Structure 1
């Protein structure tokens, strides 16, 4: 029989999360100020008040500290998707399962806005970001496949994950460009509504006829 976690275990976990967050925040701030090539692991560790050895207990490299995405946990997403009632269409179910991710990003708004700036200024981070996201995408594809009753190599799950991932990134970019002024949840809702409607052309205002002159 497995013993329940003790209060000490909970405290250790919180301290680990705090240290990880402190390292990621220090890395983002220093790179935003100086540029990627002018910041070392030693400087990041010192800014977070830990040793370089401690840094490597949490991140394999400086780049990993910058793109670390604790908000997107594939296991948590799969669990959240499984909780959505089975009669909800897959597209709407994926949006519902994203609620927790969106809430965690908005709760850590300043760090996320800074992360978006750092990634934009340092395109060399993009390949690593894509690689890091591949594991999450695989888990999402398998979860969607199980939900709709098709094998993981069926085209639908991969297409749904690719399209919703692109929609989410679009919302994130708009959110960051506006400095977080708008709710990320609202922006995500907008892009998902457009997908659900089949991506119709944006509505344009109908020109009003000029008033008659006398």
Structure 2
């Protein structure tokens, strides 16, 4: 791919992220003002200046947009390298690379994450959507691990590996929110990993 194609692809991705962010902000602002039941997909789309059809290019439901949970699109190079058994060849270290790729984009959702936490407390019905989101991401990561195993690069159970990755991401989200999203999310991830490796030191055999 030449430089112009890379530039064009990058521009499209930035526009998509900006439109998604606008939809999330519109959804959260409206629901904070009116309440969840009083806001429709059409209201959100109109507030963001797009059609309802465009809304569904980004979200499957109103609740998903209101929560504003960040997407888990990983750079194709990161995915390809992981599936092939890289970049280090050590399963845990490679999972951390994937986790880092995911949390690196969290900073862009700082204000949205704050509103999301406030809404989750205000609208308890959103909890089921949060759980469904985590389950869907866990399934996505398990599929990546299955591909890695199929390539002969790993033998760890996909459910266990994807569960560990989600544990890292959940703890980053909780810790980041607890400190009002002030630090770089990757620094928060480093802290979570340090705690985990302190609990289970590398090379430790089961008792």
Unmatched tracts of structure 1, length 5 or more:
201-214
1:203 aligns with none
1:62 aligns with 62
Give the conservation status (yes or no) of the 8 Å contact 2:85–2:148.
Answer: no
Deviation at 1:180, TM superposition (A): 1.0
- Name the CA distance, whole Å, in 2 between partners of 1:144 and 1:78: 10
Give the conservation status (yes or no) of the 8 Å contact 1:86–1:147.
Answer: no
2:34 is aligned with 1:30: no
1:191 aligns with 192
1:139 aligns with 140
1:93 aligns with 94
TM-score normalised by L of structure 2: 0.72
- Name the CA distance, whole Å, in 1 between partners of 2:150 and 2:10: 38
- Name the CA distance, whole Å, in 2 between partners of 1:109 and 1:89: 32
Single out whichever of 72-81 and 159-168 deviates more from structure 2.
72-81
2:125 is aligned with 1:128: no
Residues 25, 162 of structure 1: alpha-carbon distance in 2 compared, 3 angstrom cutoff: same
- Name the CA distance, whole Å, in 2 between partners of 1:41 and 1:50: 11
**How many residues in Structure 1 have an aligned counterpart in Structure 2?**
195
Give the conservation status (yes or no) of the 8 Å contact 1:175–1:184.
Answer: yes
Q: Rg bigger for which structure?
A: 1
Residues 157, 114 of structure 1: alpha-carbon distance in 2 compared, 3 angstrom cutoff: same
Give the conservation status (yes or no) of the 8 Å contact 2:100–2:189.
Answer: no
Deviation at 1:111, TM superposition (A): 1.9
Give the conservation status (yes or no) of the 8 Å contact 1:28–1:115.
Answer: yes
1:177 aligns with 178
2:19 is aligned with 1:19: yes
Deviation at 1:34, TM superposition (A): 3.3
2:110 is aligned with 1:109: yes
Unmatched tracts of structure 2, length 5 or more:
202-207
- Name the CA distance, whole Å, in 2 between partners of 1:28 and 1:175: 19
Give the conservation status (yes or no) of the 8 Å contact 1:167–1:188.
Answer: yes
- Name the CA distance, whole Å, in 1 between partners of 2:192 and 2:9: 41
2:47 aligns with 47
Residues 155, 86 of structure 1: alpha-carbon distance in 2 compared, 3 angstrom cutoff: closer
1:119 aligns with 120
TM-score normalised by L of structure 1: 0.70
Residues 75, 6 of structure 1: alpha-carbon distance in 2 compared, 3 angstrom cutoff: closer
